[in-house]
Structure 1
Amino acid sequence: MTATPFRQFVLKVHSRCNLACDYCYVYEMADQSWRDQPHRMSAATADHVVERIAEHAQAHRLPSVTVVLHGGEPMLAGVDFLTDLVRRLRAEAEARVDVRLQTNGVLLTQRRLETLAEAGVRIGVSLDGDASANDRHRRFADGRGSHGQVHRALRLLGQDRYREVFGGLLCAVDLAHPPLATYEALLAYEPPAVDFLLPHGTWSDPPPGRGAGSAGTPYADWLLPIFDRWYERHETWIRLFGEVIQSLLGGVPAVEGLGLRPSTMVVVDTDGSIKQLDALSAAYPGAADLGLNVSSDPFDAALSHPITVLRQGGIESLGATCHACTLVQHCGGGLLAHRFHRDTGFHNPSVFCPDLLRLITVIGERVTADLNTQ
């Protein structure tokens, strides 16, 4: 198999967070290596990151790359550090560099927003719905909810002059809260896009409400009322639904965890370690480790790693259950972390398999019925 070059670089610019969300895969799940990471990426490590991304883009003649400033909470690194890093990335790479920042929004003030907007950084904010839904999980360490601060930040980001840098909202699905009420709370901020994320879990440590081996479909049942409303009104872009429809119409989903497209994402931690998809932290300690560092290794060295091969292997990397499934080209077996079992590794369908099958099937039936009436 020919390796596919990386096109999305997730930079963990700060390893700590000012919130203590109880579902966080970084701090609350199997891999606790964040404790040994430097708090902020050093200037020397940032220099190496810039050099390695430019090197990779040039070696593979990439017309563009995406850089995601991540954490922890990336705003803790300071906007001067962030914007200087962005400036150097764009100056060194012989490719267009699309920069995005994923933040909890708590530290997003008018001045910081202005600085990031001037640097052309698109900003995504994590929010789980109204105050009740959001503050059930997304709290400060002392138990205070974060919704008030995030609301303030989103009102700033929603101003007309910042609309072009508003990347959208990221919402973790919580079965305890009504789906349409959650969706409407997000729509109140007029986001250009909404990403609904399934909570991380594995066959060995199933997500809330998802019994391993159960035929129930609680997550599909939660998402489908939102799909019905979205499909009728299109009040914003919902990536999960849009990518499923694209796949059903013959396209290739562009999001990891759907379809069979090779993964092109790689992570750099604050100490310069080159790592796999960071959600693998939910599987077992060290699951994302490659034993590589930007100070000494090019990104090409990560392309031959067995886990990279697994993430880029398409149907060949999937187990027998997925091979026998008629929808495998659409779900792709689900996110790699969600396939893990401590006895069988990653050669399993997603722990969300029944949910994914129902979601894709119902969306497919709706789209097919509409096409047949035209």
Structure 2
Amino acid sequence: MPEPPFPFRQFVVKVHGRCNLACRYCYLYEGPDHTWRTRPATASGTVLDATASRIGEHARAHGLTTLSLVLHGGEPLLAGAARLGRFTDLVRDRVRAGCTVRATVQTNATLLTEARLATLSRHGIRVGISLDGGTADRNALRVDHAGRPSWPAAARGARLVAERFPHAYAGILAVTDPAQDPVATYESLLALAPPTLDLLLPHGNWSSPPPHWDRTRTVHGDWLCAVFDRWWAAGRRETRIRLFEECLALLLGLPAATESLGLTPFDAVVVETDGSIEQVDSLKSAYEGAAATGLDVFRHDFDQALRHPGVAARQSAATALAATCRACPLLTVCGGGHYAHRYRAGSGFRNPSVYCADLQRFIRHVAARVAGDPAAAGSAEGNAP
């Protein structure tokens, strides 16, 4: 493996910094970081122009043949589908010839209409949807600013993508919730026909533990195991689940790229609505300013962001991990877990994941399933530090 720094290949651009929903658990707007309040609601044309130029510059400098452009927020569709399309075209114009820009908008689906989807599709932008499940009760905490449920509009939008624009459907992102039945939640999401499903652990850390967390139990790991067994029993044909596929690949010694598992170098960067260059939003669940770099697209290129200590630490594989992680037999699969989940006030991010026990439970379960040992799959080894 070459020495770091590794170039950025995923550019998350905040085209709109506000959201039309007020989800009660949102780490971005309800968490410890409040920097969003001082930033403009919408990225200006000047910010987007400079961002496109910096992305093109980085792609050319590193000879990238493909990159991911994630149009994000807040709720990015508040900026308008046409504006998202124009910006995506601008990025494609400024990268080197032969570099493919894979564009995705991550949305709560409430603002999706046939006209907007047609515009996104025309500009080659795929649609990723964030939901808590495929029924109203599972999305009860996803409400608008007046406290009204978002599910009716989100369901209409999700079904519209699945039925009328399947070629533009990137999939669904959902956060695990031990308060909800795992298999029923999974099956409710299948009803929305996602080509891919991303299952994420809720953001939390040692100083601010995630919901339902108990260091003596593995409720999140158990939840994932239950869904894995349902998916595995169906022959893995119903949909792709990225976390599961990446875990399987890593267990087999194959390369895999995910923030939650493995030692693949970190390659994502964020541009805020004011042009600030930041690390990923998940760090904002730790403390105020955790994602900041002090850089912006007007005065700095992305290579300067690669040299930021936080980015460098995330590109140094096992070197930046806690000693207990480096000594763990699951190191190459777990990779220390998600970086944001390692935080502890006073010691920073050089700790095992707050989900250490859950990850051990899940990884060992998957390994046992692959080995054809259901008895071993039911046992959990190791304890969180």
What is the DSSP-based 3-state SS (H/G/I as helix, E as strand, rest coil) of the residue aligned with 1:21?
coil
Matching residue within 164, 167, 174 for 2:167? 164
What is the DSSP-based 3-state SS (H/G/I as helix, E as strand, rest coil) of the residue aligned with 2:30?
coil
1:78 aligns with 2:83: no
1:53 aligns with 2:58: no
**Contact preservation (8 Å) 1:275, 1:289:** yes
Q: Which residue of 1 aligns with 2:23?
A: 21
1:126 aligns with 2:127: no
Return the alpha-carbon distance in structure 1 between the equivalents of residues 194 and 281 of structure 2: 26
What is the DSSP-based 3-state SS (H/G/I as helix, E as strand, rest coil) of the residue aligned with 2:43?
coil
Q: Which residue of 2 aligns with 1:152?
A: 156
Query: 5 Å matches for 1:208-357?
Result: 208-211=211-214, 214-233=215-234, 234=236, 235-357=238-360
1:41 aligns with 2:46: no
Task: Report how far residue 174 of structure 1 moved.
Answer: 1.3
1:100 aligns with 2:101: no
Return the alpha-carbon distance in structure 1 between the equivalents of residues 52 and 288 of structure 2: 28
Matching residue within 170, 177, 181 for 2:180? 177
**Contact preservation (8 Å) 2:82, 2:120:** no
**Contact preservation (8 Å) 1:23, 1:199:** no
Task: Report how far residue 209 of structure 1 moved.
Answer: 1.2
Q: Which residue of 2 aligns with 1:89?
A: 91
Greater alpha carbon shift after TM alignment, 138-147 vs 237-246: 138-147
Instruction: Provide the TM-score with structure 1 as the length reference.
Output: 0.96
**Contact preservation (8 Å) 1:243, 1:253:** yes
Return the alpha-carbon distance in structure 2 between the equivalents of residues 368 and 27 of structure 1: 43
**Contact preservation (8 Å) 2:262, 2:331:** yes
Task: Report how far residue 251 of structure 1 moved.
Answer: 1.1
Return the alpha-carbon distance in structure 2 between the equivalents of residues 204 and 221 of structure 1: 23
Return the alpha-carbon distance in structure 1 between the equivalents of residues 279 and 24 of structure 2: 23
What is the DSSP-based 3-state SS (H/G/I as helix, E as strand, rest coil) of the residue aligned with 1:69?
strand
What is the DSSP-based 3-state SS (H/G/I as helix, E as strand, rest coil) of the residue aligned with 1:220?
helix
Task: Tell me the C-alpha RMSD between the 2 structures.
Answer: 1.0
> In the TM superposition, what whole-angstrom CA distance separates every residue of 1:308-366 from its partner, at most 9, and x where no partner exists?
01111110010111011100111110111100000211010100000000100000011
Task: Report how far residue 294 of structure 1 moved.
Answer: 0.2
Instruction: Provide the TM-score with structure 2 as the length reference.
Output: 0.94
> In the TM superposition, what whole-angstrom CA distance separates every residue of 1:165-196 from its partner, at most 9, and x where no partner exists?
10001111111111111111100011101111
1:32 aligns with 2:34: yes
> In the TM superposition, what whole-angstrom CA distance separates every residue of 1:193-227 from its partner, at most 9, and x where no partner exists?
1111111001000001113xx13100011111110
How many residues were matched structurally?
Answer: 366
4+ runs deviating over 3 angstroms: none
What is the DSSP-based 3-state SS (H/G/I as helix, E as strand, rest coil) of the residue aligned with 1:27?
helix
**Contact preservation (8 Å) 2:19, 2:75:** yes
What is the DSSP-based 3-state SS (H/G/I as helix, E as strand, rest coil) of the residue aligned with 1:260?
coil
Task: Report how far residue 121 of structure 1 moved.
Answer: 0.5
**Contact preservation (8 Å) 2:4, 2:315:** no
Q: Which residue of 2 aligns with 1:62?
A: 64
What is the DSSP-based 3-state SS (H/G/I as helix, E as strand, rest coil) of the residue aligned with 1:26?
helix
